[in-house]
Amino acid sequence: MGERESWTTEEFGASHEGAVGVLLADGTVPGPVFFQMNSGGGGQSVSQWSVYDGHFAHVPRAAALRAVCSCGWNGTEHRLDWDEIGDQELAKAGALAADACLEDWDEHTVTVENSAVPLPETVTGLLAQLAGEIERLAKSSPLAAVRAARRLEVTAAQVGYWPAHDARRDVTAEQAAAALGLNEDAARKLMARLGRWSPYR
């Protein structure tokens, strides 16, 4: 995959990395476009949606944009009207379609969050309150806020140890991944980190 702008959330990270995907007129997904450097043999592979304008022989023209996610989910197709686009730069003419893709992916991440194992309101409320207290502390004493954040890391490591071991014993990797809203590899590494075992065994 070539370089392109992508989106992630703090909680789900690369398990649900989103981007604007491109579809050609025949419904296929184009490969990355390679741009050769003027000064030598190097170059850059790019998959950013805005390069697919058909202006060069080796660059196909996008017929539609859609949100895509690293989990395999695809969003609604947003067609591009090239009669209306004309000679405009695709980055500008397709901006509304690209924004719609971001909104579609945002809705996807909400669905992922809602499908994950629910947390009690008391826990989410306390976490939000703690985050607010540390943010307020940072205004008067940044170092104290750093120490509080560090204590939070230590606490998370302590309280996550036995739940990680219990979950490892009681559920499959697939079940853990679904409950955490992560892919299996990310869920395995998270459980290993909290449970302090090697993720490779």
Q: What digits encode the pLDDT tens for the residues 67-84? A: 999 999 999 999 999 999
Residue-range domain boundaries for the chain? 13-115, 121-195
* Closest listed residue to residue 75, CA positions, set 29, 49, 51, 108: 108
Q: How far apart are CA 182 and CA 177, in angstroms?
A: 5
Q: What is the pTM of this model?
A: 0.90
**Would you state the torsion angle of the CA atoms of residues 17, 113, 182, 100, taken in this order, to the nearest 10 degrees?**
-20
Tell me, what's the pLDDT at 35?
82
pLDDT tens digits along 78-112: 999 999 999 999 999 999 999 999 999 999 999 99
Q: Give the residue among 46, 20, 23, 48 at the shortest CA–CA distance from 33.
A: 46
> 133-140 long-range CB contacts below 8 Å, 24 or more apart?
none
List, for residues 145-179, the tens digit of each pLDDT value. 999 999 999 999 999 999 999 999 999 999 999 99
What distances in angstroms separate CA 148 from CA 11, 125, 157, one per listed residue?
A: 20, 18, 14
Closest to 44 in 3D by CA, of 107, 2, 104, 94: 2
